[in-house]
Amino acid sequence: MTKIIPLKLDYDNNGRIFTVYPTLIFDEREMVMIDCGYPKTLDRIINLAQVKGIDLSRLTKIIVTHNDIDHMGALGQFKRAYPNIEIIASHLQAQYISGEQMAIRLQLAQHAYQQADSHRKNQIQKLIDILNSVESVAVDRRVSDQEMIDVCGGLKIIYTPGHLPGHISVYHMESRSLMTGDALVSEFGKLELAHPKSNIDSELARTSAIRLAELDIDTVYCYHGGPYSGNIKEELNAL
């Protein structure tokens, strides 16, 4: 029997608390994590899992939906702690996660720095320093849209670009559950798109979200907002 357990991870950024939900999907043979939190949070994630009776030394795979700092910041720590885990990402995102190409957020920040006045340059430089601190990690498997990962009752890769190019969501066939990365967020009791300022292409993000309505979904696991169940198809179509 496959279990899905989201881990509620709070992160203090200069007094402002952000909450994300790395999610575990596991059975007696495999344990998969969807996204893995901010940098230097491995020990806290291990403790969160232990509280729920989960031994993370069983971890076999991490699927990274995209290379934003809150989704892959701890990836290097995980790979050192569990060197046999398989890192999985989309073909397009893999080049940024592995460091083959400069991260899009970093490209944008560097461009903004060049255009900014001296006051703004100081603020943007802090962002650049944070983005540069994200550790690159080799991707072991590069997946395509609709590709199946044959573990834990079946995981289907769904391309959901817009927030970033190559962004993916993960559909768990057995439980009809969707792990959305940043394709969707749960806010104020309903499903929403990520904030427009965080999307590279908000219209494409909307198209990706509406496409998800074609799936038979019982529960949505939002990285920002946690598990959500309701009239999911209707809400997705309303987007």
CATH number at residue 158: 3.60.15.10
Q: Inform me whether the pLDDT recorded for 14 exceeds 80.
A: no
Over 90: is that where the pLDDT of 93 sits? yes
Q: Give the pLDDT of residue 164.
A: 97
Please indicate, yes or no, if residue 175 is contained in any of the structural domains. Answer: yes
Stretch among 40-49, 125-134, 175-184 having the lowest mean pLDDT = 125-134
Cα–Cα distance for residue pair 223/22, rounded to 1 Å: 7
Q: Is residue 161 assigned to a domain?
A: yes
Extract the tokens encoding 127.
Answer: 């962002």
Return the CA Rg of the chain.
Answer: 17
Question: Which residue's entry shows tokens 């969160």?
Answer: 48
For residue 155, tell me if it sits in a domain: yes
Average pLDDT, the chain: 95
Residue 38: how many other CB atoms lie within 10 Å? 22
**pLDDT above 90 for 86:** yes
Cβ atoms within 10 Å, residue 204: 16
Residue 177 has pLDDT above 90, yes or no: yes
Residue 229 included in any domain? yes
In a domain, 104, yes or no: no
CB 148 within 8 A of CB 155: yes
Q: In what order do the strands lie in the sheet with 155-159?
A: 148-149, 155-159, 168-172, 177-179, 219-222, 226-228
**pLDDT, position 237:** 86
Asked whether the predicted pLDDT for residue 87 surpasses 90, the reply is yes
| pLDDT at residue 76, as a whole number | 98
CA angle, residues 10, 195, 176, in degrees to nearest 5? 70
Per-residue pLDDT for 13 more than 80? no
CA distance 214 to 209: 10
pLDDT recorded at residue 238: 85
How much is the pLDDT for 119?
83
pLDDT for position 187? 87
Please check the confidence at residue 193 and state whether its pLDDT lies above 90: yes
Better-predicted residue by pLDDT, 11 or 50 = 50
pLDDT band at 1 (very low <50, low <70, confident <90, very high): confident
For the chain, list the strands marked E by DSSP.
3-6, 9-13, 16-20, 23-26, 31-34, 61-63, 86-90, 141-143, 148-149, 155-159, 168-172, 177-179, 185-187, 190-192, 219-222, 226-228
Determine, yes or no, domain membership for 53: yes
- Reported pTM: 0.96
Is position 82 within any domain? yes
Residue owning tokens 């179509």: 237
Number of domains in the chain: 1
pLDDT-derived band at 230 (thresholds 50, 70, 90) equals confident
The DSSP call for residue 123 is H
- Please give the pLDDT value at position 183: 97
Alpha carbon distance 106, 75 (integer Å) = 18
**Residue 83 in this model has a pLDDT that exceeds 90:** yes
- Establish if 93 belongs to a structural domain: yes
* pLDDT score, position 132: 92
Domain that holds residue 57: 3-99+136-238
